[in-house]
Amino acid sequence: MMRSVFARRIVVRVAAAATLFGAATAWFLSSPAPRALAADSAPAPLVAPWQPANTARPGGKLPGNVAVQLVEIAGGFVDPIHVASPKDGTGRLFVCERPGVIRIVGKDGKVLDEPFYDNMKNTSFQFLELGLFAIEFHPKFKENGLFYVSYADLWFNGSTFIVQYKVSDADPNKADMASAKPIMRLDFPYCNHHGGKMCFGPDGYLYVGVGDGGWEGDVLDAGQDLSTHMGKMLRIDVSPAVSGKGRYAVPETNPWATAADPQLMILFGKSELEFSRIKPKSRPEIWAHGLRNPWTYSFDRKTGDLFIADVGQNHWEEINFQPAGSKGGENYGWAHMNGTHPFPAEREKTGEKTPVVGTLPIAEYNHASDGICVAGIGVYRGTDFPALDGVYFCGDWGTGKLWGIKRDEAGKWQMQELLDTTINISSGGEDEAGNLYVVNAASQYGTWNPFSSARGSLWKLVAADKVPAGAKTAPLDKKK
């Protein structure tokens, strides 16, 4: 039987959580001694004692008067793990169910009887961190009808496939399954920490989050290894697939786009900077590295900033940040770091002096008190709730807590707990108007059949004083 929410919360809040959940969850979820940094990875300055000046933790206060509630829009979903809008003027929302089905929620809040997409027969979903991951619509979907799906493929032992599809010419509420065009396959040695989400950035390129390949503790040293896609944020151009002339291209502005290009060896003929940019084994698709399992991430539609909710190991969850205009190449530290802390955690506990590696997160929280698996929701840019404008929201799958993160007037990041629910927050997304939505999935580790779990719902994030009369809101934890 599925563990009760109360039982799960007790486990989360005691030290045993680190052992029970190990690498946290990273299907949405996921060492050894320090390894040498890549030559073009810029380590952050040393700080002590692991209290960076601008990394927020729960307990902060957001600017203004921010108070929120989650209002149920629709229910009955089987492990919903993603929600997206085609931004085509129809007001539809598309909810991904982990077993391989995508359902449409109309503007009226009703779920269409027939699914938009059904690929359950080819989707590997018997393990919690596998299944259908996400749907993303082409920026010109309204004109070309193209969209992209990422999922764990049954026939390729759970490899992640990113596939381009076209909407049916006969029915806008149906995918043309025969139009499937695979554009990328990512192989993994283990069945966890695959990441899976994708989203188009303001530059028109597709960003693909890839986990470190599984087990725990980055046993593959993938986070810092530029020769593998694992533990990375990838950035690709899908224009060849759109035009029918290929699968994808590598943007010339990717930080390692040409780092592995063959060249003649000339001793003493290059500067140190030029030498530092030669990476014979690097993958040109890599945009950023040092990530553990970036299950959820999103761009601020107004500023272009990228927020990455990276699922942590046994003790810390983190939210990373890439400012608009970044040239890429950020190293977010894994597996030298977990949050602002050295990895493994025992090094910090014994007082060992270790360097701070990479770009530190803007926020973090720990497993002992706050949660076990971070799930990003997004930055609110709607017009209905002005007090929420510019706040980045995230939640936790294990505890159901929800936080807001934003800079204060002094430029310091603040992280404030806004809700403590009993739902398993699995992901979030936005609609065409900039409103934010949350989905919750109840399956636990050891549940091979998600159809036996409690059904999940689609929730809208609203200002606490704007809850519609008679609306159902997310249940709050009253067992503290």
Rg (alpha carbons) of the chain, rounded to whole number:
21
Measure the CA–CA gap between 350 and 365, rounded to whole angstroms.
Answer: 21
Measure the CA–CA gap between 469 and 2, rounded to whole angstroms.
Answer: 33
pLDDT at 473: 98
pLDDT at 51 over 90: no
Q: Which DSSP symbol is given to 240?
A: H
Beta carbons of 93 and 105 less than 8 angstroms apart = yes
Beta carbons of 279 and 345 less than 8 angstroms apart = no
pLDDT at 382: 98
Measure the CA–CA gap between 331 and 283, rounded to whole angstroms.
Answer: 15
Residue type, 60: G
Give the predicted TM-score (pTM) of the model: 0.90
Q: Which residue has the higher pLDDT, 127 or 27?
A: 127
pLDDT (mean) for 190-197? 96
Q: Which residue has the higher pLDDT, 187 or 50?
A: 187
Measure the CA–CA gap between 9 and 19, rounded to whole angstroms.
Answer: 14
What is the SS3 string spanning 260-277? CCCCCCCCCCCCHHHHHC
Measure the CA–CA gap between 379 and 383, rounded to whole angstroms.
Answer: 13
Beta carbons of 80 and 104 less than 8 angstroms apart = no
pLDDT at 52: 61
Residue 471: alpha-carbon gap to chain centroid: 29
Give the SS3 label for residue 477. coil
Instruction: Give pLDDT tens digits for 80-107.
Output: 999 999 999 999 999 999 999 999 999 9
Give the SS3 label for residue 438. strand
pLDDT (mean) for 169-188? 98
Q: How many residues does the chain have?
A: 480
Q: Which residues lie closer than 8 Å to 238 by C-beta, 6 or more apart?
A: 138, 148, 164, 183, 206, 248
Measure the CA–CA gap between 85 and 94, rounded to whole angstroms.
Answer: 6
Range in 141-155, 270-284, 376-390, 461-475 the model is least confident about: 270-284
Instruction: Give pLDDT tens digits for 239-267.
Output: 999 999 999 999 999 999 999 999 988 88
Written as six digits, the tokens of 138 are: 């082409």
pLDDT at 14: 35
Written as six digits, the tokens of 397 are: 């799958």
pLDDT at 41 over 90: no
Q: Which DSSP symbol is given to 60?
A: -
Measure the CA–CA gap between 147 and 183, rounded to whole angstroms.
Answer: 12
pLDDT at 480: 59
What residues does each domain of the chain span? 5-36+55-262+282-466
pLDDT at 15 over 60: no
pLDDT at 17: 36
Give the SS3 label for residue 17. helix
Written as six digits, the tokens of 346 are: 């025992």
Q: Are strands 363-366 and 337-338 parallel, antiparallel or unpaired?
A: unpaired
The CATH architecture that domain 5-36+55-262+282-466 belongs to is: 6 Propeller (2.120)
Element (H, E) at 346: helix 346-349
Measure the CA–CA gap between 148 and 161, rounded to whole angstroms.
Answer: 10
Measure the CA–CA gap between 93 and 96, rounded to whole angstroms.
Answer: 10
Measure the CA–CA gap between 108 and 91, rounded to whole angstroms.
Answer: 9
pLDDT at 323 over 50: yes
pLDDT at 27: 37
pLDDT at 341: 96
Q: Which residue has the higher pLDDT, 25 or 286?
A: 286
Measure the CA–CA gap between 151 and 100, rounded to whole angstroms.
Answer: 8
Average pLDDT, the chain: 90
> C-alpha distances in angstroms, 164 versus 72, 187, 241, 243, 254?
31, 18, 8, 12, 22
Beta carbons of 237 and 249 less than 8 angstroms apart = yes
Measure the CA–CA gap between 205 and 321, rounded to whole angstroms.
Answer: 18
Measure the CA–CA gap between 11 and 238, rounded to whole angstroms.
Answer: 44
The model's confidence at residue 132, banded by pLDDT at 50, 70 and 90, is very high
